[in-house]
Amino acid sequence: MSRTILVVDDEPDIRELIRLSLERLGGHRVVACASGAEALGRLPEEPVDGVLLDVRMPGMDGPEVLAALRRTPAGADVPVVFLTASVLEVQMADLRALDVRGVVRKPFDPLALPAEVALAFGWAA
């Protein structure tokens, strides 16, 4: 089943790699944003099935974007999965403790990303 996924990452190459992977291999529609502020502004006009949100970004980081998202009608219930380069288990546990469905680690395998994202969101792969 095709879903619309909002991808929020400050790195253009990562956004493009995720877009290609999720669209071409996963059959999903991707809406890409370069910042949390852009995503928060876009979400009310662009209904999505899930948000793939980078943890470390300039300006607003992922947890700050998540908190702001949860205070909006459009984002209060949308499922969120964090994307992070963090490898420390204590940091991963802290991220999982927030109101998210899961955490996907960078670097990721673009061929496996659609299945990993579907699993994290709880969607049938």
Tell me, what's the pLDDT at 1?
A: 76
Tell me, what's the pLDDT at 95?
A: 76
Instruction: For domain 4-121, give the fold.
Output: Rossmann fold (3.40.50)
Model pLDDT for residues 20-30, shown as the tens digit of each residue: 999 999 999 99
Both tokens assigned to 32: 């890409």
Length of the chain: 125
Q: What percent of the chain has pLDDT over 70?
A: 94
Q: Is the pTM of this model over 0.85?
A: yes
Output phi, psi for 121, to 5 deg. -75, -15
Model pLDDT for residues 46-87, shown as the tens digit of each residue: 999 999 999 999 999 999 999 999 999 999 999 999 998 866
The answer on pLDDT for 122 being more than 90 is yes
Cα distances (Å, whole numbers) of residue 90 to 11, 27, 53, 86, 93: 25, 34, 19, 10, 5
Interatomic CA distance for residues 17 and 19, integer angstroms = 5
